[in-house]
């Protein structure tokens, strides 16, 4: 029996990754991954090229997406694994998200102009490409390239994070509601997994309420092992998986080789006692 190595969360240039989809697959292969899910933010346009490369390498590529959703006015990321990218309602939601992102980008650029930083919209829309998804990462890269900040992190800390000078809230209503996103993933044949549950800065009680709502809406899994998590965080997330009867997923959330902390396939094993999402995918 083949010992599989899974990585079920990563990004390409189809959203805010640094590598083209085929190069993400190639790099995953080189890092020993045998089952990869490409999960770009609100887009599936990288999947065709990813499949072509996975076929060359004899790797298994799961069709994935990371949907931006809202629940109680906050943004949460829900991963769809094994979705049909052609599903009409899902495809429509992704087209809507592209417009939301385009409009938000114009507003972010206007806020930067008030700080006398010009040319951001032109730069990020060119970087994202004609049918690309404009993300805050694109703005962070622009601010870094301009020498306005010394790192991507500083771009978020000073300009792009919630409450900072160029932050535009999309939380009020723009993104798909959490419950609807789960439904969409189901109707497109996929499994809905709550991404990086410990990265939303929620207090235990709020996280409990989120997981209750997620489970009630038909959500099936949560990420237990993510790119830069501690042993303690794995323990906490696996306890939530058990408590809420959710499948455990594993994904690096790889974006770029320049982030030395997060690499494809470099993931801790799932702890004992959780049921993994793997058997549902193969
Ligand atoms: P968006 O979906 O356009 O709001 O952008 C969110 C993306 O920005 C996330 O998926 C991360 O890749 C990135 N991001 C968010 N917060 C940070 C941060 N503090 N440092 C670096 N990247 C971040
Ligand atoms: Mn991202
Ligand atoms: Mn995410
Ligand atoms: Mn991600």
Read out DSSP for 128-165? Answer: H-TT----HHHHHHHHHHTTSSSSHHHHIIIIISTTST
- pLDDT digits 0-9 by tens, 28-54: 999 999 999 999 999 999 999 999 999
Atom number of ligand 1 nearest to Cα 152: 21
Q: Is the CB of 255 under 6 A from ligand 1?
A: yes
Residue 223 in 3-state DSSP?
strand
Among 136, 141, 124, smallest CA distance to 160 is for 136
The answer, as to whether pTM is greater than 0.95, is yes
Q: Is the pLDDT of residue 75 over 60?
A: yes
HSE toward the beta carbon, residue 254, CA cutoff 13 A? 31
Query: 1 CA to middle of ligand 2, Å?
Result: 34
Decide: 16 in ligand 1 pocket, CB within 6 A. yes
Pocket test for ligand 1, best of 135, 155, 161, 262 (most atoms within 8 A of CB): 135
**Cα four-point dihedral sign 166, 167, 172, 178:** positive
Q: Report the DSSP beta bridge partners of residue 268.
A: none
Residue 199 DSSP one-character state:
G
Q: Any idea which ligand is nearest the CA of 16? A: 2
Minimum CA distance residue for ligand 1 atom 20: 153
Q: How many residues does the chain have?
A: 282
Question: Does ligand 1 come within 6 angstroms of the Cβ of 87?
Answer: no
Which one of the ligands is nearest to 199 CA? Answer: 3
Q: Looking at residues 101-107, what average pLDDT do you find?
A: 95
What is the CA(56)–ligand 1 centre distance, in A? Answer: 32
pLDDT digits over 142-201, tens only? 999 999 999 999 999 999 999 999 999 876 568 999 999 999 999 999 999 999 999 999
Which pair of structure tokens corresponds to residue 7?
A: 């990585």
Q: Give the residue whose CA is nearest to atom 9 of ligand 1.
A: 137
pLDDT mean across residues, the chain:
96
Please state the atom number of ligand 1 nearest to the C-alpha of residue 255. Answer: 12
195 alpha carbon to ligand 3 midpoint, in Å? 6
Coil, strand, or helix at residue 175? coil
Q: What digits encode the pLDDT tens for the residues 124-146? A: 999 999 889 999 999 999 999 99
Percent of the chain, pLDDT > 70? Answer: 99
Ligand nearest to the CA of 136: 1
Flag whether pLDDT at 3 surpasses 90.
Answer: no
Kindly state the tokens that stand for 54. Answer: 């996975």
256: left (phi over 0), alpha (psi -120 to 50) or beta: beta
From 10, 16, 166, give the residue whose CB has the most ligand 1 atoms within 8 Å, as the site to mutate: 16
Closest CA to 256 of 119, 135, 168, 146: 135
Distance 137 CA to ligand 2 centre (A): 7
């Amino acid at each position: 029996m083949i010992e599989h190595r899974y990585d079920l969360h990563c990004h390409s240039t189809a959203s805010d990754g640094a590598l083209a989809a085929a190069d993400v697959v190639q790099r995953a292969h080189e890092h020993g991954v045998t089952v990869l899910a490409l999960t770009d933010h609100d887009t599936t346009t990288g999947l065709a090229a990813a499949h072509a490369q996975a076929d060359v390498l004899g790797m298994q590529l799961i069709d994935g997406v990371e949907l931006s959703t809202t629940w109680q006015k906050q943004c949460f990321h829900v991963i769809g694994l094994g979705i049909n990218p052609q599903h009409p309602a899902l495809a429509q939601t992704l087209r809507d998200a592209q417009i939301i992102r385009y409009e938000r980008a114009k507003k972010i650029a206007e806020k930067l102009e008030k700080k006398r930083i010009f040319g951001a919209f032109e730069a990020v829309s060119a970087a994202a490409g004609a049918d690309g998804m404009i993300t805050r990462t694109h703005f962070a890269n622009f601010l870094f390239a301009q020498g306005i900040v010394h790192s991507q992190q500083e771009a978020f800390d000073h300009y792009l994070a919630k409450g900072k000078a160029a932050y535009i809230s999309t939380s009020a209503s723009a993104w798909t509601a959490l419950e609807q996103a789960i439904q969409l993933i189901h109707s497109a044949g996929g499994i809905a997994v709550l991404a990086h549950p410990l990265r939303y800065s929620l207090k235990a009680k709020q996280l409990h309420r989120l997981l209750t709502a997620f489970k009630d809406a038909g959500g099936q899994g949560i990420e237990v092992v993510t790119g830069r998590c501690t042993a303690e965080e794995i323990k906490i997330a696996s306890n939530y998986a058990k408590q809420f009867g959710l499948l455990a997923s594993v994904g690096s959330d790889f974006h770029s080789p320049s982030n030395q902390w997060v690499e494809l396939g470099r993931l801790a094993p799932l702890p004992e006692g959780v049921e993994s999402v793997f058997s549902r995918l193969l």
